[in-house]
Structure 1
Amino acid sequence: MVASYLPDECWESIFQFIIDDDDYNRCHSLNSLSLVSKQFLFITNRSRFSLYVYDDSILPLLNRFTNLKSLRIARYYNDLDNLLLNISCFPLKLTSLSFSHQPTFPAKGMRAFSQNITTLTSLTCSVIDSLDNCDLFLIAECFPLLQELDLSYPLNCQDNYPACLDDGAEALSLALIKLRKVNLSGFNMSNQSLFNFLNNCKLLEDFIMFKYSYDITNAGVASALRDRPTLRSLSISSVNPLHKESRKLFATAHFIDSLVSLKGLNCLVLVCLRISDNLLYSIAREGLHLTKLVLTRCRFYSYAGIFCLLSKSRRLKHLDLQDADFLNDHHVTQLSSFLGDLLSINLSHCDELTKSSLFALSTNCPSLREIKMERIGSKSVENFDSLGEFGQHPQLKSLYLGCNSWLSDENIIMFSSIFPNLQLLDLKHCDRISEGICQVLRRCCKIRHLDLTMCSNVNLLGMNFLVPKLEVLKLTYAKVDDKTLYVISKNCCGLLELSLEDCHDVTEKGVKHVIENCSQLREIKLENIQQCLSLFFSSSFDNFSSYLSCLNQE
């Protein structure tokens, strides 16, 4: 019985104490609490700070969620100008707005939005088909309080449509005096414009520029960085891999000098660049206190360089060495001894590694919560018959082992004993997995996200027990039929998302079982399943609150 005599303020404090700060978990917890009573519904409405917008049906809810701070407009294919006009009519104090994949920038809607909602500090408008200088002028004029801006990957700035945005970039840099974070990935501007941008934005701390313009040279990047000593986070990648600039050594002496001059830098993300051990030696020598280091698909550095840096970087929490093909199990064991505070690591596409590295990391890094080791070596590992030597490592929450064709039922059952608190398990493209996945689900009862995409031999028929916390299940191109869906519908009552693309043995009968029994289901993907087309067009299930996705049908 709910203690209704307690005032709303007390319950609100209790909710804030027990609800996870993570956006996804927070939303799920609020949904559950709102079902308890009308009083809890009212309180949770006030406690909801972010909302996803998929269609116009969300508009009436804006009167309920009076404390909204963030709106993310996703997969919206109607008139975005009109939607923004309607949103601007509500007395909201939004600080964050995000939309993407639009044919044009919604100038009319954004101007109306800015006139009525003047509190915006974060704006994301990425992957806009056509973004021009006039759009950037409008942002500069209408949103002077912006601290975060994401303009990444405008399609008209790609190779075939190199629209130059120098004038707009200069207007932004002069108007947005409070800007602290900017993403200009795929953005077309010159060396001089980049230099002016970093020079004008005096408070800039986080700069992201993946796949930068052909007109920007390595020397231009180095010069611009030296002019912004406040940077704490830097994320850059190569131009096009085939471009002449990408074939040069990125970590020149000029770039290294500029980088190590950023004394407050704690996050460095380099992708698809030619770097050198000298860069890593210099960072170690200057004592930059990195907490995140990403060297995804970088070349021309070696174990000597990464050893030198990691041995001096005792505060590191996130490490990504994807495609470091020189690494072996012995190297990982040595490096793990320096990484006591590590929270996440990515060692995918390191061909010399085996599951020995996985065990070394989980043993030597007591804080580790996430491991990515996709497409690693298939060499067998000796002397791993006894689980006792590893014990349990309950701290690990996410494990990505996709594209490991050697991975067997025996392996994943062993992992489930060692990592009993897994919440995310990614096994996509592991075609030797069969009935063993049922034992994993029984032992790892906290799993929320399971990816079995392209697991052609997976068998879930033995799942004769409840898996109440499973929320996302991906079975694209997996061995799934109506009997499997019946088992899923009976035992995975908490499912929010189910992917069944290209599961050609699935029919309307199996999908109906899922929709009728999984009352929380928000999304089911049925691409390329002809047998379910009539169900899609005639669906009238009251408990299915979002949509059936049957795209790409011929």
Structure 2
Amino acid sequence: MVEANFYLPNECWESIFAFLNHSDEDEHNHCCLKSLSLVSKHFLSITNAVQFSLNIYNPTRPFLYLLFKRFTNLTHLDFTCFRGDLDALLSQISCFRLNLTSLKISNQYAIPANGLRAFSRKITTLTSLTCSNLVSFDSTDLNLIAECFPLLEELDLSYPLNFINSYSYLLGVETLSTSLIKLRKINLTSHAYLNDQLLFQLFKNCKLLEEAVLLYCCQITNAGIASALRKRPSLRSLSLSNNKYAKHITLDFSDSLVSLRSLSCFDLLSLHISDELLSSIATIFLSLPLRRLVLQNCTGYSYYGIYCLLYNCRSIQHLDLQNATFMNDQCVAQLSLFLGDLRSVNLSKCSMLTHLALFVLARSCPSISEIKMEYTSIGKNIVENSNSSMDFVVNPRLKSLYLAHNSRLRSESLIMFASMFPNLQMLDLSYCYNISEESIYQVLKRCCKIRHLNLTGCNAVNYME
């Protein structure tokens, strides 16, 4: 009788299924929805309603009509794996009534100009466009994007291989920056033509810009970056890297950060920085809501510099100190006192770190969900430190653990780590030569939620790959 009277409206089921699907950390993995759709026709219809993205492959094309009829709430299409006439396919898709907001056209030879024009005439709701890893990028592509999608808020044109008509990029950037008045995020990684003048123009014209990724843009200078930043105080996220004219980050650059009063994500890759610079930035970040800090492969700074910075910025949730060769277990223990909100950390290639650093992170960072400690000394001296090994705590929040290329890691240590992190979903043990088949069985027994296990190069368990 109770079962007969139990009823939930579809809206409630949709909220439940959307929550379950959103909790899946792999945005392209819809296993949860697939499983639920098998329960009943009712659940099938509901899962269809909460399917918002679709990856298009070559075999998909004949079934587009059925797929679009089935998934009526699609907002995102991904053509990354499609190999064929993309112009014709986009023209075909434009005939369907779709409220798409996001389009991904990556790993293609070039931007399908005719297809995008046909697409944009019928589908005018697009706010996000990704065209990364193109073999050929033409300056006229910037004009095309500005013409077809004036409502864009997010644009990713990263990692093009070749540039055509480079003399016309000045006009292209000007058209793009003046036309996309709603642009909030842009990724121009590896755009070799981008110089100080174009960067200034971009930041000046895009008044709503919040996130800029400018990695490997070989013609911009420290002075050019500083000048552009002063024009865009609303910036929340900034990513920079080593290039021909900006191998060092100077104190003059840090002065320009004062204007960025909302900066929450700051990424520096392969740059030479100093303790003096980090100390200077620390005083600036006292009043900023910094949540993400990346100093990946940076040189020139020491423990003192990062200590000053983290002492003043205690709300860091994502920290990347890859290749900070001065880092040892004691450094991690001291810095962890300032990292109570930490969610993810990358300490790969910090070769002096051992299992003791892992224990400290598990104990001092209760909310941490991802740890990367590849190419470290995990496993070294673990017998000598057996007493400290007994002090480990269980951290049920950790979901991802990357321990690749730790040649000293032994089976007994691995089993202990599995006991520490019972809710692991991702475990990378690639090229950890000294772990046994039995230890993998023990790990899977203790961590029953593991979905991704990388054993590449683990000779003793090769047949399990």
Other structure's SS at 2:449 match: coil
- One-letter identity of the residue aligned with 2:364: N
Seen in structure 2, the aligned counterparts of structure 1 residues 23 and 411 have a Cα distance that, compared at 3 Å, is closer
Give the Cα separation in 1 of the matches to 2:416 and 2:433.
17
Where does residue 369 of structure 1 map in the other structure? 369
Other structure's SS at 1:104 match: coil
Other structure's SS at 1:32 match: helix
Q: Please list, as runs of the form range in 1=range in 2, the aligned pairs for 1:358-507 lying within 5 A after superposition.
A: 358-377=358-377, 379-381=380-382, 382-385=384-387, 388-435=390-437, 436-458=439-461, 479-480=462-463
**Alignment of 1:150 onto 2:166:** no
CA contact (8 A) 2:215 2:239 kept: yes
CA RMSD of aligned residues (A): 2.1
Please give the per-residue CA displacement for 1:314-361, whole angstroms capped at 9, x wherever unaligned. Answer: 111000000000111111000001100100000000111111101011
CA contact (8 A) 1:157 1:186 kept: no
CA contact (8 A) 1:157 1:163 kept: no
Give the Cα separation in 1 of the matches to 2:206 and 2:16.
41
Give the Cα separation in 1 of the matches to 2:37 and 2:169.
47
Give the Cα separation in 1 of the matches to 2:180 and 2:357.
46
- One-letter identity of the residue aligned with 1:408: R
Please give the per-residue CA displacement for 1:432-465, whole angstroms capped at 9, x wherever unaligned. Answer: 112211111111101011011111122xxxxxxx
Residue of structure 2 aligned with 1:27, choices 22, 30, 34: 30
Other structure's SS at 1:208 match: strand
CA contact (8 A) 2:428 2:454 kept: yes
Where does residue 90 of structure 2 map in the other structure? 84
CA contact (8 A) 1:63 1:90 kept: no
Give the Cα separation in 2 of the matches to 1:426 and 1:291.
26
Q: Please list, as runs of the form range in 1=range in 2, the aligned pairs for 1:241-260 lying within 5 A after superposition.
A: 243=244, 245=245, 248-249=247-248, 251-260=249-258
Where does residue 186 of structure 2 map in the other structure? 182
- One-letter identity of the residue aligned with 2:356: S
Where does residue 138 of structure 2 map in the other structure? 132
Where does residue 332 of structure 1 map in the other structure? 332
Seen in structure 2, the aligned counterparts of structure 1 residues 139 and 210 have a Cα distance that, compared at 3 Å, is same
Give the Cα separation in 2 of the matches to 1:207 and 1:2.
55
Give the Cα separation in 1 of the matches to 2:214 and 2:154.
14
Percent identical among aligned pairs is 55
Other structure's SS at 1:425 match: strand
Structure 2 residue ranges without an equivalent (≥5): none
Give the Cα separation in 1 of the matches to 2:6 and 2:70.
21
Seen in structure 2, the aligned counterparts of structure 1 residues 4 and 129 have a Cα distance that, compared at 3 Å, is farther
Shift of 1:260: 2.8
CA contact (8 A) 2:156 2:187 kept: yes
Where does residue 356 of structure 1 map in the other structure? 356
Other structure's SS at 2:135 match: strand
Other structure's SS at 1:421 match: coil
Where does residue 51 of structure 2 map in the other structure? 48
Other structure's SS at 1:453 match: coil
- Using structure 2 for the length normalisation, give the TM-score: 0.93
Other structure's SS at 1:278 match: helix
Shift of 1:19: 4.3
Where does residue 279 of structure 1 map in the other structure? 277
- One-letter identity of the residue aligned with 1:74: T
CA contact (8 A) 1:387 1:418 kept: no
Give the Cα separation in 2 of the matches to 1:228 and 1:2.
60
Other structure's SS at 1:457 match: helix
- One-letter identity of the residue aligned with 1:451: N
Seen in structure 2, the aligned counterparts of structure 1 residues 2 and 219 have a Cα distance that, compared at 3 Å, is farther
CA contact (8 A) 2:398 2:421 kept: yes
Shift of 1:18: 4.6
Give the Cα separation in 2 of the matches to 1:411 and 1:164.
58
Where does residue 226 of structure 1 map in the other structure? 230
Other structure's SS at 1:51 match: strand
Give the Cα separation in 2 of the matches to 1:152 and 1:181.
12
Please give the per-residue CA displacement for 1:22-69, whole angstroms capped at 9, x wherever unaligned. Answer: 463772211111111112111111111112222252513122111011
Give the Cα separation in 2 of the matches to 1:225 and 1:211.
18
Seen in structure 2, the aligned counterparts of structure 1 residues 385 and 86 have a Cα distance that, compared at 3 Å, is farther
Shift of 1:386: 6.9
Shift of 1:281: 1.1
Where does residue 123 of structure 1 map in the other structure? 129
Q: Please list, as runs of the form range in 1=range in 2, the aligned pairs for 1:282-293 lying within 5 A after superposition.
A: 282-286=280-284, 287=286, 288-293=288-293
Shift of 1:185: 0.6
Shift of 1:5: 6.2
Please give the per-residue CA displacement for 1:275-325, whole angstroms capped at 9, x wherever unaligned. Answer: 111221122212132100000000111111100111111111000000000
Give the Cα separation in 2 of the matches to 1:282 and 1:78.
52
Where does residue 269 of structure 1 map in the other structure? 267
Give the Cα separation in 2 of the matches to 1:61 and 1:3.
34
- One-letter identity of the residue aligned with 1:285: T
Structure 1 residue ranges without an equivalent (≥5): 459-478, 485-499, 501-554
Please give the per-residue CA displacement for 1:48-93, whole angstroms capped at 9, x wherever unaligned. Answer: 1112222252513122111011111122111111121122111110
- One-letter identity of the residue aligned with 2:204: N
- Using structure 1 for the length normalisation, give the TM-score: 0.78
CA contact (8 A) 2:173 2:198 kept: yes
Give the Cα separation in 2 of the matches to 1:15 and 1:2.
22
CA contact (8 A) 2:76 2:101 kept: yes
Comparing 280-289 with 12-21, greater Cα deviation is found at 12-21
Where does residue 209 of structure 1 map in the other structure? 214
**Alignment of 1:236 onto 2:237:** no
Q: Which has the higher contact order (CA 8 A, sep 6+)?
A: 2
Comparing 406-415 with 251-260, greater Cα deviation is found at 251-260
Shift of 1:209: 0.8
CA contact (8 A) 1:320 1:345 kept: yes
